[in-house]
Chains A and B, each alone.
Chain A
């Protein structure tokens, strides 16, 4: 009897108050339409909360690169510290790809979405990662720097699946390599009352890593606006923008 009462009580509570609690037997998060406001909080300008040139796993470790590729990565880190970025396609203004673009120089990006698509608009060289919604991978498209991306909503979380990424792009500003077989899943959602954006990454690339791995990036909501950037003009004029200058009022330092 007590068990029957407990079951009925639990069902009643689940139905009325605690529908989101796992085990309540209600629809799972992916089937329940999220409140429009929850998804809208993704829109806006974001900037990495803690600057980092290297992508780490969720437990703070170096990703499980295969030995020969770990050597490549460590060599790039060393040469970069010495001022040599000749291995880096971004030094010639090639697109960055993700997640690197989210980390590069700690510059901001703007996320916007509609029912049909989402755009991640980067300040760095005006890059645009277009994510068609409710589309399917074709696996026949050619490779590109942002890859072939498709998106769908899982409750309040935007899930982006990326394949067909060019092998000459890098996962982080320090030159973490990957192969053309990279399969990247990004999950974007806001946390802390919309003040932060959490991007959870799942990386699968057996030609580069000994196992699949996860990373987690946190971004602060930025009150500023995206400033137009032209990478080639920066190189031609031998200028650079400091972090403070990457805002609406721009001051330029000229190197001689």
Chain B
């Protein structure tokens, strides 16, 4: 569809240098608010910058990209640097990808009927100082934690409507890291269940620049706003 813009995410061409670790200001182990930069697996499309990482000023970047590999709406459980807000019984995760926001409702159960979305439907509870999130009703593309050698980005598989994800988020004692353990299973399709672990570093000033993808003929042209120094 010519001229249609897909709100997407495009990394800047180069990965930012690693920064010294900042530490979460709150000693409360259940206070996860703030921005956590994905460090393991390393995000090959990391287009973030912040005072901790060095800035990448410059003009808007336009790159022609294969239609099949980018500008899909990211899954709610896909790997990405994340800003977490905790407000009452809702945890909001603003991800540095094309999905942007996923919302976790604490103390609730999944409804009997729920529409499939890219974010999925997520409910959560605290298990000690670990936030346990249960997600169902996912649709669309799901980025895995394996980097595709051809595209240089996380590999993509398609979600199934019966995919079930349980994740556990725990802040480190020193407040510098966030550990995310994710368990994927789908009893309907017989998929072999698997568990992965991701690690994040506290990065309070990491900034996600605006990005969008536009269909131009048979190619996708993605542009990303410059990151202010």
Q: Which of A's residues lie within 8 Å of B, judged by CB?
A: 43-44, 89, 92-95, 110, 112-117, 119, 121, 125-128, 130, 132, 135, 137-138, 140-146, 148, 225-226, 228, 230-232, 235-236, 250
13 contacts between A and B (CB under 8 A): A92-B3, A92-B4, A94-B212, A114-B33, A114-B34, A116-B35, A128-B208, A140-B228, A141-B228, A142-B60, A142-B226, A225-B103, A232-B1
B101, CB-defined interface residue at 8 Å:
yes
Tell me which residues from 78 to 121 in chain B have a Cβ below 8 Å from any Cβ of chain A. Answer: 83, 85, 87, 92, 94, 98-101, 103, 115, 117-119
A94 to B59, CA, bound (A): 19
Inter-subunit contact B100/A121 (CB<8 Å): yes
Report yes or no: B228 in contact with A138, Cβ–Cβ below 8 A. Answer: yes
Given contacts A112-B85, A128-B94, A145-B212, 19 further A-B contacts (CB under 8 A): A92-B4, A93-B7, A94-B5, A95-B5, A110-B92, A110-B101, A112-B87, A127-B7, A128-B208, A137-B228, A138-B228, A138-B229, A142-B59, A146-B210, A230-B73, A230-B118, A232-B1, A232-B5, A235-B4
B3 CB to nearest A CB, Å: 5
In the bound complex, how far is the Cα of B92 from the Cα of A95, in angstroms? 21
Contacts of A137 in B (CB 8 A): 228
Contact A141-B226, Cβ < 8 Å, known A112-B87, A146-B210, A250-B115: yes
Q: Who on chain B is nearest to A97 by CB?
A: B210
Least Cβ–Cβ distance between A154 and chain B, in angstroms? 22
> B7 is contacted by which of A44, A126, A148 (Cβ under 8 Å)?
A126
- Inter-chain CA distance A146–B228, complex, in Å, is 13
Contact yes or no, B5 A93, CB < 8 A: yes
Closest Cβ–Cβ distance, residue B47 to chain A (whole Å)? 13
Kindly provide the distance from the CB of B25 to the nearest chain A CB, expressed in whole angstroms. Answer: 8
A226 adjacent to B83 (CB under 8 Å): no
Most buried by A among B58, B212, B214: B212
Closest CB in chain A relative to B203 CB, distance in Å: 10
Minimal Cβ-Cβ distance residue in A for B2: A92
By a CB distance below 8 angstroms, the chain A residues around B59 are: 142
Residues of B within 8 A of A144 (CB): 60, 209-210, 225
Q: Contact between A121 and B57 (Cβ–Cβ < 8 Å)?
A: no
| A226 with B103: CB separation less than 8 A | yes
CA distance A213 to B201 in the complex (A): 44
- B residues in contact (CB < 8 Å) with A: 1, 3-7, 25, 33-35, 57-60, 73, 83, 85, 87, 92, 94, 98-101, 103, 115, 117-119, 204-205, 207-210, 212, 214, 225-229
Give the residue name and chain of the A residue nearest to B205 (CB): A116
Find the B residue at minimum CB distance from A225. B103
Do B207 and A138 touch (CB < 8 A)?
no
Closest 5 CB pairs of A and B: A144-B225, A142-B60, A142-B226, A144-B210, A228-B117
User: Within 8 Å CB of B210, what residues of A?
Assistant: 95, 130, 144-146
Given A93-B5, A126-B100, A128-B100, are A143 and B205 also a contact pair (CB < 8 Å)? no
In the complex formed, the residue of A with least CB distance to B90 is A225
Chain B nearest CB: distance from A62 CB in Å?
29
Q: Which of chain B's residues have a CB closer than 8 A to the CB of A143?
A: 60, 225
Chain A residues, Cβ within 8 Å of B103? 225-226
Q: Which of B3, B58, B204 is in CB contact (< 8 Å) with A142?
A: B58
Cα of A146 to Cα of B209 in the assembled complex, Å:
10
Q: Which residues of B contact A119 (CB under 8 A)?
A: 83, 85, 94, 101
Are A117 and B225 also in contact (CB < 8 A) when A92-B5, A93-B5, A250-B115 are?
no
Contacts of A140 in B (CB 8 A): 57, 226, 228-229
Chain B's nearest CB lies how many Å from the CB of A33?
Answer: 17
What residues of B have a CB within 8 angstroms of the CB of A135 in the complex? 228
